[in-house]
């Protein structure tokens, strides 16, 4: 993690708010740096007092968890510790009017790549996509196992195979052809499936 406590608290809180692990939101080897971009954006566009109070409150939550359920590694919490963190974030941040707004904006930022100036947002009259990278890396695409229009990191031909399931086989590249008809002899074989996880973030 970074040596910047604000960055670590921002990523840690983002992980709880989004449900995505910290190392997916802010990989150690990160060629894009979306978490840093979002932090900078929040610092420049959010209510500063409320934002800093939110990060400080999250820091206190970590200390509470460490105190109640030691030993505690914020990057690798036990299930009980994770549950307690979620409970404390809900009680101390999401329930607070000012910090709750900040937290909800963070969720929208990560999932929709969009910054809304009003709370609640007016999707028809408000909203700004933070950047081109933010657009392509919005968690909404990943959660829906989809990708932005005009931007896919999947190998050529991915559209010809079924979306993923839990029974994906990692052993063979399916005979992917851009054709509606099954290849000869392939009609009775299981439909190949393709993982739609994105390569970024």
Partner 1 sequence: MRSARSLLSLTAFGVVAVLGLMACKSEPSGPANANATRPLAATPTPSSSPLSSTIPGDANFSDLPNNPTIQQIQHDFDVFSWQSFVALNWPLDQSQTIGSAPDGDNPTVWGTYVESYQVFLPQGQTPSWSSRTVPPICQPDGGAANLPVLRMTMKVSDQVLNFSQQAFGTGPLIDQRGEYARYSINLNQDAFNYILTNKLYNKEGQANFANVSFPIAASPSPSPTASPSVSTVGSIVLKSAWRILDATRGDVLSRYHKIDAYVYTPPSNNPPTQPSCERKTLGLVGLHIAHKTASAPQWVWSTFEQVDNVQVGQNAPAGLKPSFFNPDCKTCPINKPPPKPWNPNVKTTPSQVTRVIPIDDATKQLNSQWQGFLSGVNQNSVWQFYELVSTQWPTAPAPSPTPSPYDPHPTGAPAPQFLANTTIETYIQGKVPNTSSSCIMCHNNAATTAGKFSDFSYLLQSAQSSKPKEQKK
List interacting residues with partner 1 (CB under 8 A).
22-24, 27-32, 75, 132-133, 135-136, 150-151, 153-158, 161, 164, 168-170, 172-179, 192-195, 197-201
**Residue 155 beta carbon to partner 1: minimum distance, rounded to whole angstroms:** 4
Structure-derived torsion over alpha carbons of residues 177, 181, 186, 192, reported in degrees to the nearest 10: 50
**Residue 182 beta carbon to partner 1: minimum distance, rounded to whole angstroms:** 14
**Residue 200 beta carbon to partner 1: minimum distance, rounded to whole angstroms:** 5
Residue 69 CB neighbour total at 10 angstroms: 15
Residue 37 vs 126, nearer CB to partner 1 = 37
Residue 101 vs 198, nearer CB to partner 1 = 198
Residue 75 vs 117, nearer CB to partner 1 = 75
Start-to-end C-alpha separation, the chain = 15
**Residue 93 beta carbon to partner 1: minimum distance, rounded to whole angstroms:** 25
Residue 64 vs 152, nearer CB to partner 1 = 152
Complete DSSP assignment for 69-113: S-S--TTS--HHHHHHHHHHHIIIIITSHHHHHHHHHHHHHHHH-
Q: Token pair of 67, please?
A: 């105190």
**Residue 64 beta carbon to partner 1: minimum distance, rounded to whole angstroms:** 25
Residue 56 vs 174, nearer CB to partner 1 = 174
Alpha-carbon span 161 to 13, nearest angstrom: 36
Question: In the block, which residue shows the tokens 């109640």?
Answer: 68
Alpha-carbon span 48 to 42, nearest angstrom: 8
Kindly report the backbone phi and psi dihedral angles of residue 84, in degrees, each rounded to the nearest multiple of 5, phi listed first. -65, -40
């Amino acid at each position: 993690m970074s040596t910047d406590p604000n960055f670590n608290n921002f990523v840690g809180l983002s992980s709880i708010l989004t449900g995505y692990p910290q190392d997916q939101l802010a990989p150690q080897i990160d060629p894009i740096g979306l978490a840093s971009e979002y932090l900078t954006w929040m610092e420049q566009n959010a209510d500063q007092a409320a934002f800093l109070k939110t990060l400080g409150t999250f820091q206190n939550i970590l200390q509470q968890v460490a105190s109640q359920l030691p030993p505690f590694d914020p990057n690798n919490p036990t299930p009980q510790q994770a549950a307690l963190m979620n409970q404390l974030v809900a009680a101390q941040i999401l329930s607070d009017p000012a910090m709750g707004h900040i937290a909800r904006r963070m969720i929208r930022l990560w999932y929709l790549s969009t910054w809304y100036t009003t709370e609640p947002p007016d999707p028809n009259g408000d909203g700004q996509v933070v950047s081109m990278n933010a657009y392509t890396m919005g968690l909404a695409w990943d959660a829906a196992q989809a990708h932005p229009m005009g931007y896919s990191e999947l190998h050529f031909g991915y559209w010809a195979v079924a979306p993923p399931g839990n029974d994906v086989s990692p052993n063979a590249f399916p005979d992917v052809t851009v054709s509606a008809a099954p290849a000869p002899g392939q009609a009775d074989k299981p439909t190949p499936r393709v993982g739609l996880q994105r390569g970024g973030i």
